[in-house]
Amino acid sequence: MKRFAAAAAAAGVVAGGLLMVPSATAAPAAAPEFKPASISWGPCQSDRLKKAGAECGFLDVPLDYQQPDGAKASIAVSRIKHKTPQSQGIMLVNPGGPGGSGLGLATLGASVPNKAGEAYDWIGFDPRGVGSSKPALTCDKNYFAYDRPDYLPVTPQLEKVWRDKAAGYAKACAKNGALLDHIKTTDVAKDMDSIRKSLGEQQINFYGFSYGTYLGQVYSTLYPKNVRRMVLDGNVDPRKVWYQANLDQDVAFDKNIKIYFDWLAKHDDVYHLGKTGDAVERLWYAEKKKLDAKPAGGVIGSDEWTDIFLQAGYYVFGWVDMANAFSGWVHKGDWQTLKGLYDDSNPPGDDNGYAVYSAVQCSDVQWPQNWNKWRIDNWLTHFRAPFETWGNAWYNAPCVTWPAKSGKPVEINGAKVPGALLISEELDAATPFAGSIEVRKRFPNSSLIGAPGGTTHAGSLSGVSCVDDRVAEYLSSGKLPVRKAGNGPDVECPAVPAPEPEGSPSAKADNGAKGAGKQPAELRAVLTAQAAHA
């Protein structure tokens, strides 16, 4: 899912994403303010949204906010209105990515305990370029076709294949034209403020997951007076957007996959994959090597194998499904289940999520353009953390030659934000816990819920009452956990529990009562799609 320092230059400094020039130099004229039209609400296309009583519409916004009367993008928006006599205002939701569709997340309010979500108008939206918004970004729909070249560039030829493949994807994205120059996080934050204006609201509430936490950080830095309440779950470290963040993820995912292998060993009576984590790990890498020579079903090679099991480093929710796929392949040659899991995260013929991910990350900030730096950094990281490093490197490699203007990152500052509830499990790999500590420092009116030992990313509202009840209390009254001195969590809660597979002695002992919790269906679908890669 995901490094900012203030950039100083002879002409001035970057603050809040705007170039501030010395008074001796004339500042550029400010762009005219954009005044959005009201959204014309109508029926939704999604059956789930229809069933929940949602209404949908589109909001036209400037492609370039410096030219408010110029070309437009059309943002798909959904709404489920409050059910209480008094409203607490609008609650915008973003599931992360970047590139995740948030249109269906107008339903999220129903998952907040104690009916605390019913006092809000829940606003889902597909960020510019995503899903139902227009234009929707796409570059090469078959980029994630099956049995791709081995991620590990053990020969110069293989490295060249992947460099050429990544550069080809970047070149293919150029066909999207001006949208590529106007799809930064700052553009999406401006779209959020346009939604606020369109709905006639003075302030927004915001619930952000994963990359959505960074979007919330940027919005609240640019528009602190427009923020009422904000929940940020799985916090991006604002110091490390985006190159270093990905290297940090690689190390964290390597730790989490070992935890998963230990879990498989604990349940060897069910899966028969090894009685120790080390034994399971050896088997996993041995199978990966075999798939280089002979892909499962002719489609699942070593890359696809890695991508399938990467999800185990994100969430405990799918551990049983992945264990069944691993065991089924090893003991029965079942490749169809593997393919199904791969397709869930990489829908055949659909690269919209990846296209937007690349467009945002590659243009938010200038990535290193010297390939030698990538080569050295990723080999050094690989020697520490071989599970995901090179897969993640190639996933981001289009940024080396990205055909759009790169921006300058916003210096995140939440000092003027009245409050924020931060949430993070302490072994979160996609957004390592240090990021939540940093956000807590920058938002002095925030409180942080930590979950020691937890590996689940952005797992609030999945049934852990210690977390979810505090979310409900904050949304109801604005009350946050008491902030403690120092640089740690303000309150600790249990992590989302690992599942107990059916048939295991421990599951029988408690009649299956212990489980991994359950995320809201719409959120789960979006996060699963994002978990194909770090």
**DSSP assignment of 271-328, as one string?**
H-S-SSHHHHHHHHHHHHHHHHHS-BTTTB-HHHHHHHHHHHHH-STTHHHHHHHHHH
* Distance (Å, whole) CA 215 – CA 193: 12
Q: Where are the beta strands (DSSP E) in 344-493?
A: 420-425, 446-451, 491-492
* Distance (Å, whole) CA 41 – CA 77: 9
Pairing of strands 204-209, 90-94: parallel
> Which of these is catalytic: 233, 457, 460, 468?
457
**DSSP assignment of 54-86, as one string?**
-EEEEEEEESSTTSTTS-EEEEEEEEE---SSS
Residues 6+ apart with CB under 8 A from 509: none
φ and ψ of 446, to 5 deg: -100, 165
47 noted as active-site residue: no
- Distance from chain centroid for Cα 507: 32
> Which of these is catalytic: 46, 210, 358, 447?
210
457 noted as active-site residue: yes
Which residue type, as a one-letter code, is found at position 44?
Answer: C
* Distance (Å, whole) CA 12 – CA 296: 57
* Distance (Å, whole) CA 133 – CA 127: 7
* Distance (Å, whole) CA 33 – CA 100: 28
Residue 368 exposure: Cα atoms within 13 Å on the Cβ side? 15
> Which of these is catalytic: 181, 233, 351, 428?
428
Edge-to-edge, what's the strand order for the sheet holding 18-20?
A: 8-9, 12-15, 18-20
Angle at 17 between CA 372 and CA 407, to 5 degrees: 35
- Distance from chain centroid for Cα 374: 23
123 and 64 Cβ atoms separated by less than 8 Å: no
Angle at 241 between CA 236 and CA 243, to 5 degrees: 125
125 and 104 Cβ atoms separated by less than 8 Å: no
111 noted as active-site residue: no
* Distance (Å, whole) CA 265 – CA 277: 5
Would you call 382 helix, strand, or coil by DSSP? helix
Give catalytic residue positions. Answer: 210, 428, 457
